[in-house]
Amino acid sequence: MQEAHDPYGALRQRDYRRLLTGSMLFTLGSEMQAVAVGWELLQRTDSALALGFAGLTQFLPVLLLALPAGHAADRFDCKKLLMASQGLVFFTSLGLAALSFWEGPVFLVYLCLLMVGVARAFNVPARWALLPRVIAPEMLPNAVTWNSSGFFIARASGPPLGGVILALTMPATSYLLTAGCVLCCVSLMATLRPRPVARSTEAPSLRTLLAGMHFVWQSRPILATISLDLFAVLLGGATALLPIFAEKILDVGPTGLGLLRAAPAFGALVIAFIMAHHPPLQHAGKTLLVAVAGFGLATIVFGLSKNFPLSFAMLVLAGAFDNISVVVRGTLVQMLTPEAMRGRVGAVHFVFVSSSNELGDFESGVTAFYFGAVASVVMGGIGTLLVVLAVMALWPPILRLSLKRPTPDATDPSSLETATVPPA
């Protein structure tokens, strides 16, 4: 007889709770910092392009360093690597605080953001490799879902808090609070006792460096789902332009900006909570396509709206739809990846995700510079709908993708139905 689904199974394990709490604090601080950086850059430059370059500056280190970082996570102690990357963010936040307080040159702000990108390039693969080592294997799908919940709780809390801080004090306060959150995170990571695993003993080479990319290319479900997310969010994301919408279109100031940045997280959190109380999706492929299409439609309406409640509601919907993609994709990647390759596969996954976010911010800034913020967002939403149609045409088996039905070969490149995720 199949055991009953325990929606809180992962949370009953000590080390997972600490990893989740630390990750939430890290994300909370990062979101407060992102609000402050976006607002401060807009005030100092009055340029949409400056906001776009902030995303590009954080993406380039990820593009260049994520694969070596993933290899390092497989070869060395991923816990220590995670703590070192978080320590770099701590010192970067202190640097941003100093630059803000003394009104240092803008190029140094970008240098700090570059260091944040370097830290993130190592942080995410290390955390990705660490997760299965602090959780029972049968609880992994449940842990991925709660990871998503914790992430969006932090994302829902950080931007409004950052907006209130901006309204009451100065950006430097947000940077200092971010440093405090990161320091607490490092302290929690130091208490983890991950189970020992056999690490990769292969000497570094181009072949081992690209092994994660080769695995993703051969595993059609992973390739299809992360490609869909990449191009949908790359085109449809509007996060970088929210300071412009808050100040010039909706006229709601920094407090409104915080609420707008938090809106997607509110929607995502609701969906994450619902998904945590249900076994993995049986019709994941169809649900994924509908969700991405819904994300595109919500983005279009947001771009056309000049009413704050409607704009907020559309961002809530966009976040809810987007999180369905996050849970499906994250569960697939964790369950299909061999233990010795988790860091490298996680790095490739992170490059795709970061491409859709930071590179998407750059794309939004450039198109807004030439066509205006409204046109940029609306065109992005239309592009997202076209991506859904393209994926259905190029990979028809995605309609049969399930997170419940195992198949014999998890890496057969000729089949898309390789989701070997057992019911949690």
Give the pair of three-digit tokens for residue 46.
């009055």
Long-range contacts of 401-404 (CB under 8 A, 24+ apart): 401/221, 401/224, 401/225, 401/284, 401/285, 401/288, 402/281, 402/282, 402/283, 402/284, 402/285, 403/141, 403/280, 403/281, 403/282, 403/284, 403/328, 403/331, 403/332, 404/279, 404/280, 404/281, 404/282
pLDDT at residue 28 in the model:
93
Give the pair of three-digit tokens for residue 163.
């907006």
Vertex 148 angle, CA 147 and 152, to 5°? 115
Alpha helices in 138-283 (DSSP H): 140-168, 171-189, 206-209, 211-218, 220-236, 242-244, 253-276
Q: How confident is the model at residue 279 (pLDDT cuts 50, 70, 90)?
A: low
- H or E element in which residue 314 lies: helix 308-336
Q: How confident is the model at residue 337 (pLDDT cuts 50, 70, 90)?
A: confident
Q: CB of 21 within 8 A of CB of 147? A: no
Of the ranges 7-11, 171-175, 258-262, the best mean pLDDT one = 171-175
The burial of 401, by beta-carbon neighbours within 10 Å (0-12 exposed, 13-18 middle, 19 or more buried), is given as: buried
pLDDT digits (tens, 9 = 90+) for 294-334: 999 999 999 999 999 999 999 999 988 888 887 777 777 77
pLDDT at residue 11 in the model:
87
Please check the confidence at residue 265 and state whether its pLDDT lies above 90: no
Vertex 118 angle, CA 185 and 63, to 5°? 125
Residue 117's contacts (CB-CB under 8 Å, 6 or more residues apart) are 57, 58, 59, 60, 61, 62, 358
**End-to-end CA separation in angstroms for the chain:** 14
DSSP 334-372: HHHS-GGGHHHHHHHHHHHHHIIIIIHHHHHHHHHHHH-
Maximum pairwise Cα distance, the chain = 66
Q: Count CB-CB contacts under 10 A for residue 273.
A: 16
Q: How far apart are CA 160 and CA 367, in angstroms?
A: 27
For the chain, give the mean pLDDT.
82
Domain 10-192+208-400 indexed as CATH 3.40.50.970: no
DSSP 99-128: HHHTT--HHHHHHHHHHHHHHHHHHHHHHH
- State whether residue 415 is helix, strand or coil: coil
Q: How far apart are CA 99 and CA 108, in angstroms?
A: 8
The burial of 317, by beta-carbon neighbours within 10 Å (0-12 exposed, 13-18 middle, 19 or more buried), is given as: buried
Residue 297's contacts (CB-CB under 8 Å, 6 or more residues apart) are 381, 385
Select from 342, 326, 325 the least CA-distant residue to 334: 342
pLDDT at residue 257 in the model:
85
Q: CB of 340 within 8 A of CB of 74? A: yes
Please check the confidence at residue 163 and state whether its pLDDT lies above 90: no
pLDDT digits (tens, 9 = 90+) for 199-220: 656 666 667 777 777 888 887 7
DSSP 49-99: HHHHHHHHHHHHHHHHHHHHHHHHHHHS-HHHHHHHHHHHHHHHHHHHHHH
pLDDT digits (tens, 9 = 90+) for 345-400: 877 777 777 666 666 777 788 888 888 889 989 998 898 899 889 888 888 877 77
pLDDT at residue 187 in the model:
95
Select from 125, 123, 62 the least CA-distant residue to 334: 125
For the chain, the domains span: 10-192+208-400
